[in-house]
C-alpha cells in the first residue's frame, strides 16, 4: 500500500459521492411526484487483505442504493373521485399496455405493483394512472360488495347497463298521532270514533275495513231540539208534566195540541184525542195529558223513551237500535216540543261486513276521516315508475273507554281515476295495534301486500317492512303523521354515468337511473421484502428474487379521493447535499496531496 493506492481510494471516494449526489438530485427532482419513494445511498468500505491486523490499512469505498419503499408519504385530499391512496402497507396491482389494437389496449399479462393512485377513467373505461399503468381488481356482488373471484383482472367500465328491478320491499317508518286531526273530527258527535279522529264504517256505502270484518252493531243515535217554550213561572222547573192542551196548571205548552192532531213516528201514527174523555192507549194521547205521556208513546215505538233537560226543557229523541228515526207532524203544537217537522236521524253502527276497499263514491268521506301516510315511487318489472299513495285511518281508539284500543288501518291508492263504485283505495288488511306507551304491539316486522296494482300497473307482492320501533303512536300537536322513512328497492333500467372509489376500495358506479352500484373491488398485495422490489418508470415496481412473490391482501387500507405524496424531505436532502459536497471536496484534497508527494518523489531522482 502506498501513495498510488491512496490515489485510487480517493478516486473511489469521488465516485461514491457522485453516486450519492445523483440520488439526492433525483429525490429533489421528484419531491412533487405522486407516491415517489426516495432512494438513499449506503456506503460500504472495501478493506484490502492483510496478514496481520497491525498492518491493516483503511480501504476504499463503494456506494449502493438504499430503497425507502416502505416509508409512507403524506396523504392529501383530491377532487378526483377515482384517485386513491394507500394508508399503510400494500400495493395496487397494475399492468402496462404493450400496444393498441382497434383502439383497445393489449397487455403482456405481466403484473406490476404501484402505490401511485392518480387513476382516472380513459376512453375505453379503464382506470389508468398518470404513469400509464392500468388498474386491476375483481368483480363484486352489486348488493353485498363481496368479491366474486380472487384473480385480479384489468378493470374496465364502459357501457355498463343494469336492467330494471321491480319493487319488492318498502321500508317504512312514521309516527301516527294519538289523536289524528281529520276534517270530520271537528263536527262529529262527542264520544264517537269520528270525533276521536277515526274512521266510522257506517259513514261509507262500502265498509272499508279489512275483508271479513263483521259490521259494527247498531247503536242508539240522538237528536236534541231547542228549549221548550212553556208557561212555567221562573224558577219552577220544566218537567214532563207539562200539559199538551196549554191550559192550567201553569206548566203547559204555549202552542196547543188539539183533538185530531197526529204525530207519525217511524211509520206509526200517534193521534191526539179529546181532553178528558178521549181514547188513551199506545197510539192515542188525550189533549189534556202531559208531555211525558206523549214522550212515552214515542218511546214505545222507537224502543228508547225521549228525555228532557230539566234546566232548559230541551227534548232529546232517540233512534233506538232497531231502525232509523223519522218523525213528522202537521200539528201546530209539534213545534212547541222544540223540533221542526220532519225530524230524521240514522242510528249508529251497522252497515255491511268489511270489503277491504274504498270506492270512488266514498272518497270524500274517506279523505275527511283519514290522514296522509306519504307516497313513494315504485317500479314494475319493466321499470315503469308508479306513484304509490298511502293513507292511515284510525279504526278504534282507547279514548272511547273500556273494550277499546288504538287500532289503525293502512290504505294504498290503487286507482286515482276511479269513479262510482270502482275501487279507489285498498285496505292493507291488517290491524296495526298500539299499546298505551305508543309502541306497536302488532304486527311485528311488517306485513305483505299481495297482488298490488296501482294505476293499472301490476307491482305484484310487496313486503311492507317495519324496523323495530319504526312505527309509533305518540301525541302530535299537528294531528298528522310524521314520516321518518319511506324507501323502496326498485328502479328503472340505467346506464353507467360515472365511477368513484370509496374508502373500502370499492369502485362505485353511478347510473342514469340514480342508482349507485358496487362494480368491483380494488385488490392490494404486499411483499416480504418490500424494499427489494425493482423500481420502474412511473413509480411502479417489479418482483425480484429478493422481494419474494406478491402476497394477496395487505394490512393497509384504501382512502378514496386522496393521493399519497412523495416521501422525500427537501430539508433532509439539502443537508445530505452539503455533506456530500464536503466529502467530495475532501477526496479531491487527498488526490492533490498524493500528487504533491509523487512530485516530491520524482524530484529525488534529479
pLDDT digits (tens, 9 = 90+) for 581-596: 887 887 888 788 877 8
Per the model's pLDDT, the better-predicted residue between 580 and 478 turns out to be 478
**Apex 206 CA angle, 200 and 208, nearest 5:** 55
Strand partners, 147: 140
Same domain, 224 and 311: yes
Per the model's pLDDT, the better-predicted residue between 536 and 351 turns out to be 536
Sorting pLDDT into bands at 50, 70 and 90, what band is 279?
Answer: confident
Same domain, 482 and 530: no
What phi and psi values does residue 296 have, to the nearest 5 degrees? -65, -40
Strand ranges for 79-226 from DSSP E: 84-87, 91-101, 104-107, 112-114, 120-121, 127-128, 133-139, 153-154, 161-162, 169-177, 216-219, 222-224
- Residue 233, pLDDT above cutoff 60: no
Determine what percent of the chain is predicted with pLDDT higher than 90. 55
Same domain, 321 and 388: no
Sorting pLDDT into bands at 50, 70 and 90, what band is 55?
Answer: low
Q: Tell which of 293, 326, 349 closes a domain.
A: 349
Average pLDDT over residues 514-520: 91
Same domain, 266 and 177: no
- Which positions ≥6 away from 91 have C-beta within 8 Å? 113, 114, 115, 524, 525, 526, 527, 541, 550, 554
Instruction: Using CB atoms within 10 Å of the CB of residue 231, give its burial: 0 to 12 exposed, 13 to 18 middle, 19+ buried.
Output: middle
Average pLDDT over residues 363-381: 97
Q: Tell which of 467, 488, 509 closes a domain.
A: 488
Q: Which domain holds residue 63?
A: 3-72+566-604
Same domain, 81 and 68: no
The CATH number that applies at residue 420 is: 2.60.98.20
Strand ranges for 397-515 from DSSP E: 406-413, 423-434, 440-442, 446-454, 457-474, 482-488, 494-501, 506-511
- Residue 72, pLDDT above cutoff 70: yes
- Residue 462, pLDDT above cutoff 60: yes
Angstrom distance (rounded) from CA 560 to CA 602: 72
Per the model's pLDDT, the better-predicted residue between 529 and 292 turns out to be 529
Residue 229, pLDDT score: 58
Q: Is the peptide bond before 243 cis (omega within 30 degrees of 0)?
A: no
The pTM of the full predicted model, rounded to 2 decimals, is 0.64
Average pLDDT over residues 378-406: 95
- Residue 411, pLDDT above cutoff 60: yes
Same domain, 129 and 95: yes
Instruction: Using CB atoms within 10 Å of the CB of residue 384, give its burial: 0 to 12 exposed, 13 to 18 middle, 19+ buried.
Output: middle
Classified as helix, coil or strand, 348 is: strand
Q: Tell which of 296, 322, 349 closes a domain.
A: 349
Residue 491, pLDDT score: 94
Residue 249, pLDDT score: 45
Same domain, 206 and 309: no
Same domain, 332 and 394: no
Contact 137, 508 (CB under 8 A): no
Average pLDDT over residues 447-470: 96
Determine what percent of the chain is predicted with pLDDT higher than 70. 94
- Of 112-126, 178-192, 220-234, 425-439, give the lowest mean pLDDT range: 220-234
User: Which residue is it, cell 404501484?
Assistant: 114
- Domain count of the fold of the chain: 4
Same domain, 97 and 120: yes
Strand partners, 219: 348
User: Which residue is it, cell 445511498?
Assistant: 41
Same domain, 362 and 481: yes
Same domain, 504 and 519: yes
Sorting pLDDT into bands at 50, 70 and 90, what band is 63?
Answer: confident
Residue 240, pLDDT score: 61
Same domain, 474 and 535: no
Q: Which three cell numbers stand for residue 11?
A: 478516486
Amino acid at each position: 500500500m502506498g501513495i498510488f493506492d491512496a490515489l485510487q481510494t480517493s478516486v473511489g471516494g469521488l465516485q461514491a459521492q457522485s453516486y450519492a449526489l445523483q440520488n439526492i438530485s433525483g429525490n429533489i427532482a421528484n419531491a412533487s411526484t405522486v407516491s415517489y419513494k426516495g432512494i438513499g445511498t449506503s456506503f460500504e468500505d472495501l478493506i484490502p487483505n492483510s496478514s496481520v491486523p497491525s498492518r491493516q490499512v483503511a480501504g476504499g469505498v463503494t456506494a449502493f442504493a438504499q430503497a425507502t419503499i416502505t416509508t409512507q408519504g403524506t396523504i392529501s385530499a383530491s377532487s378526483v373521485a377515482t384517485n386513491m391512496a394507500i394508508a399503510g402497507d400494500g400495493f395496487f396491482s397494475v399492468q402496462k399496455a404493450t400496444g393498441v389494437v382497434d383502439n383497445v389496449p393489449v397487455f403482456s399479462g405481466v403484473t406490476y405493483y404501484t402505490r401511485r393512485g392518480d387513476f382516472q377513467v380513459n376512453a375505453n373505461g379503464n382506470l389508468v394512472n398518470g404513469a400509464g399503468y392500468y388498474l386491476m381488481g375483481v368483480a363484486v356482488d352489486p348488493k353485498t360488495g363481496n368479491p366474486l373471484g380472487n384473480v385480479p383482472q384489468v378493470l374496465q367500465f364502459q357501457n355498463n347497463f343494469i336492467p330494471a328491478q321491480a319493487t319488492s320491499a318498502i321500508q317504512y317508518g312514521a309516527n301516527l298521532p294519538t289523536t289524528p286531526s281529520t276534517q270530520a273530527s271537528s263536527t262529529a258527535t262527542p264520544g264517537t270514533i269520528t270525533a276521536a279522529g277515526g274512521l266510522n264504517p257506517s259513514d261509507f256505502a262500502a265498509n272499508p275495513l279489512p275483508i271479513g270484518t263483521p259490521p259494527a252493531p247498531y247503536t242508539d243515535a240522538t237528536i236534541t231540539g231547542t228549549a221548550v217554550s212553556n208557561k212555567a213561572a221562573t224558577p219552577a222547573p220544566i218537567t214532563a208534566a207539562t200539559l199538551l192542551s196549554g191550559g192550567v196548571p201553569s206548566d203547559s205548552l204555549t202552542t196547543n195540541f188539539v183533538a185530531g192532531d197526529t204525530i207519525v213516528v217511524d211509520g206509526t201514527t200517534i193521534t191526539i184525542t179529546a181532553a178528558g174523555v178521549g181514547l188513551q192507549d199506545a197510539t192515542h194521547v188525550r189533549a189534556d195529558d202531559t208531555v211525558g205521556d206523549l214522550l212515552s208513546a214515542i218511546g214505545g215505538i222507537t224502543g228508547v223513551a225521549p228525555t228532557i233537560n230539566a234546566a232548559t226543557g230541551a227534548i232529546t229523541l232517540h233512534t233506538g237500535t232497531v231502525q232509523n228515526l223519522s218523525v213528522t207532524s202537521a200539528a201546530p203544537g209539534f213545534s212547541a216540543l222544540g223540533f221542526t217537522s220532519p225530524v230524521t236521524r240514522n242510528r249508529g253502527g251497522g252497515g255491511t261486513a268489511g270489503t277491504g276497499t274504498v270506492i270512488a263514491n266514498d272518497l270524500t268521506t274517506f279523505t275527511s276521516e283519514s290522514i296522509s301516510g306519504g307516497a313513494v315511487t315504485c317500479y314494475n318489472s319493466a321499470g315503469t315508475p308508479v306513484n304509490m299513495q298511502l293513507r292511515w285511518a284510525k279504526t278504534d281508539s282507547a279514548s272511547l273507554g273500556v273494550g277499546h284500543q288504538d287500532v289503525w288501518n293502512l290504505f294504498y291508492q290503487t286507482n286515482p281515476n276511479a269513479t262510482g263504485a270502482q275501487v279507489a283505495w285498498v285496505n292493507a288488511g291488517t290491524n296495526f295495534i298500539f299499546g298505551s306507551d305508543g309502541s306497536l304491539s302488532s304486527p311485528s316486522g311488517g306485513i305483505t301486500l299481495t297482488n298490488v296494482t296501482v294505476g293499472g300497473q301490476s307491482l305484484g307482492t310487496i313486503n311492507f317492512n317495519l324496523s323495530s320501533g319504526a312505527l309509533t303512536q305518540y301525541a302530535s300537536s299537528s294531528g298528522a303523521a310524521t314520516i321518518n322513512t319511506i324507501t323502496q328497492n326498485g328502479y328503472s333500467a340505467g346506464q353507467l354515468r360515472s365511477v368513484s372509489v370509496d374508502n373500502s376500495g370499492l369502485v362505485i358506479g353511478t347510473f342514469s337511473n340514480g342508482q349507485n352500484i358496487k362494480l368491483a373491488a380494488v385488490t392490494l398485495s404486499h411483499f416480504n421484502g418490500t424494499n427489494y422490489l425493482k423500481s420502474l418508470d412511473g413509480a411502479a415496481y417489479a418482483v425480484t428474487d429478493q422481494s419474494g412473490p406478491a402476497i394477496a391482501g395487505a394490512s393497509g387500507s384504501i382512502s378514496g379521493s386522496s393521493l399519497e405524496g412523495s416521501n422525500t424531505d427537501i430539508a433532509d436532502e439539502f443537508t445530505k447535499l452539503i455533506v456530500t459536497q464536503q466529502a467530495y471536496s475532501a477526496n479531491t484534497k487527498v488526490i492533490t496531496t498524493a500528487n504533491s508527494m509523487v512530485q516530491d518523489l520524482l524530484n529525488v531522482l534529479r
